[in-house]
Structure 1
């Protein structure tokens, strides 16, 4: 049985900064998550048309900004002018999109940890994985604990591994498709990150028996969190930074 890989990360991870309490993936959200005591955050990173890594979940701009079209098709000079907070509430109107470098500097200055989900614009999977990994390695150079890079896209993780193999990786899964464990081990992942409903005792044992950690998204109910704790999973990503104490 392979030994479990080193795991310096806390159990509780704030989803997109502060869940739904602030506009996701903005610096305002990460500041709010930190104010609730969270030490680790999850974010989504993709590339602008001119290669700037910025934070956004969707491929398109409409849901979380006042822009239109595909985010990755726009240069950063355009993206940086968008309102990424007004959709959430008037209190956050005018909040700009954040770059991954913005967030890295915030985390490093305050001792916070980060899970970077590589969220490529379709068609840029490997290039995005490579670019995000290179940037993360540069920004966290010399840091005691590196960011965890995760993705649903195996090609993105393969790109990250090719250019910065020392950065820990995690495979995201929304179903336990055929070959999922082999895919994670083949990418030399440190973790498998599943929809929380997919975990049972046997699946946790499979992952941990292969030397990886078992993480869950997105856990917003106390009963679900308790089940995952009892199963012995290693990390819980939540929107409910106002409900769950990260000290537990």
Structure 2
């Protein structure tokens, strides 16, 4: 028996923003309750992981939500009917490997992440708590679905705070008083379009009188999350933990973040999922690449060929839009994204408009006039900028669309002066090799914005480039940049969180 005793007083803090509790991991981007889901949740900035725990036939705690294997493996077997080894084999064969809770506890300890434990039975809770203590996990909450279960956990001396999960239509406070719960957790996500409105001043007054912190249901609607973030809650569960503590370039001297091909380390590049992930996290721009199909449709895809990122082969330009609709643009990235399609440009534009996001549009092989028309028909000119390696196209865009914002790169010109003069670019993009304080000052004196592109993941190099104070930072690793900036601004806890392979 370990002598480690966690401190429970932290639940009475009111963190701002509230704790981001990743519901079964980042289950919007990975199969729930898998190690990949928890690693992604860490990358997305989650403070805690909600984990469902069951016991196998040989008494091993595993992360698994359902009581049986029908949905995951197509087998009419209960989790408690198979050994841990058999479960690992069956779920791995189904492409959704169920991890041992011991591995999750070790990963949480390594990353400094808390655990919100949803044990489906008492013995599973006892063994899972033991593993948390063995790994010296400081912050954990044990959730109970019934009053009797809550009371039994407390009677057994649970060393972590216990929450009571309360369904819609029930008053959580008498229930909490009756069973001794130390946290109330209303599960009210199905209470219409705006369940947050149920958490009014009277609700929080009752919680405060009883000294009960509040954790909310899992929520993925942006307007609801934004409302919850402003409330005095301890934590917010979400399949998309990035929504809880969003990046805000307006906070302090921060650059606007450009997500190269979307959040391409979270979801497949240049897809709707990658764009949504970037904007959900609060990042400013999504960079995308535009090509034209054989029948004249504008689509978002980087390579000239389909082989690397889709289930197809050969040149994209030789395929019709109907041909592309039959291809899978997600499965090569991860089986979770099977069925993701090559998006049309107008689909991404619509997403940007709905999310309040902005775009950096790179023209690879597409009619420049129709491309700009498609974007500016829906978006304000200040919310998008354009670039192409084809300088003639940029000159044409400047002539036909004087209001359009254009980018230029010094590496494409003999001198910086020539770059500044070319097609009256509004944004000048440097890279790690040519970004200097002197040239950046010259660009600023010319009234242009400065962008630096860096596609690596070296923290010291990121810090060096950020010290040049670019207006925009074009990166493959936006979440790493956000953590680094938080550390530079004084949140050393955020900066010290280690990166994990996802």
Q: TM-score range by the shorter chain?
A: 0.7 to 0.9
Residues of 2 paired with 1:235 and 1:92: CA distance?
Answer: 29
User: Given the alignment, which residue of 459, 473, 482 partners 1:236?
Assistant: 473
- Structure with bigger gyration radius: 2
Q: Which residue of 2 aligns with 1:104?
A: 349
CA contact (8 A) 2:381 2:405 kept: no
SS of aligned partner of 2:270: coil
Distance 1:85 1:46 in 2: 18
Structure 2 unpaired stretches of 5+: 1-249, 487-502
2: CA distance between counterparts of 1:160 and 1:194? 22
**Matches of residues 184-203 of structure 1 in structure 2 within 5 Å?**
184-203=420-439
Counting only pairs closer than 5 Å after superposition, residues 173-188 of structure 1 correspond to structure 2 as 175=411, 177-179=413-415, 181-188=417-424
Cα pair distance change 1:77/1:159, threshold 3 Å: farther
Question: How far apart are the structure 2 equivalents of 1:223 and 1:117?
Answer: 28
Q: Does 1:169 align with 2:406?
A: yes
Q: Provide the rounded CA distance (Å) in 2 between the counterparts of 1:83 and 1:241.
A: 25
Distance 1:34 1:177 in 2: 33
Deviations 1:103-134 (A, max 9, x none): 111110111111111112xxxxxx62222112
- TM-score, length-normalised on structure 1? 0.84
What are the within-5 Å matches in structure 2 for residues 87-236 of structure 1?
87-120=332-365, 128-140=367-379, 143=380, 145-172=382-409, 175=411, 177-179=413-415, 181-219=417-455, 220-236=457-473
The answer (yes or no) to whether the contact 2:362–2:387 under 8 Å persists in 1 is yes
- Tell me the distance in 2 between the aligned counterparts of 1:21 and 1:214: 27
Would you say the 8 A contact 2:279–2:355 is kept in 1?
Answer: no
Equivalent residues of 2:264, 2:270 under 8 A apart: no
For 1:5, the equivalent position in structure 2 comes to none
1:5-56 Cα distance to aligned partner (Å, 9 max, x none):
xxx9962111111022211000011122233332321111121122211111
Structure 1, residues 150-189: CA drift from partner, whole Å, max 9, x if none? 222212212322321211000246x354145414422111
Kindly indicate which of the two structures has a greater share of residues assigned to helix: 2
* C-alpha distance in 2 between matches for 1:154 and 1:144: 20
Give the match for residue 67 of structure 1.
312
Partners of 1:32 and 1:63 lie apart in 2 by 21
Helix, strand or coil for the counterpart of 1:106?
Answer: helix
CA distance in 2, matches of 1:163, 1:106: 26
Q: 1:40 aligns with which of 277, 280, 285?
A: 285
The answer to whether the 8 A contact 1:192-1:212 is kept is yes
CA 1:130 to 1:91, structure 2 compared with 1: closer, same or farther past 3 Å?
Answer: same
1:97 Cα deviation from its structure 2 partner:
0.5
Task: Give me the whole-angstrom Cα distance separating, in 2, the residues matched to 1:44 and 1:32.
Answer: 17
Q: Residues 33, 134 of structure 1: CA spacing in aligned structure 2 closer, same or farther, 3 A cutoff? A: same
Q: Please say if residues 18 and 33 of structure 1, whose CA atoms lie closer than 8 Å, have aligned partners that are also in contact.
A: yes
Contact 1:11–1:236, Cα closer than 8 Å, also in 2: yes
CA contact (8 A) 1:129 1:158 kept: no
Q: 1:86 to 1:187 in 2, by over 3 A?
A: same
Would the alpha carbon gap of residues 222 and 34 (structure 1) be closer, same or farther in structure 2, given more than 3 Å must change? Answer: same
Which structure has more relative contact order (CA 8 Å, sep 6+)? It is 1
Q: Secondary structure at the match of 2:478?
A: coil
RMSD: 2.4
The verdict on how the C-alpha distance between 1:153 and 1:184 changes in structure 2, with shifts beyond 3 A counting, is: farther
Q: Classify 1:10/1:163 alpha carbon distance in 2 versus 1 (closer, same or farther; 3 Å).
A: farther
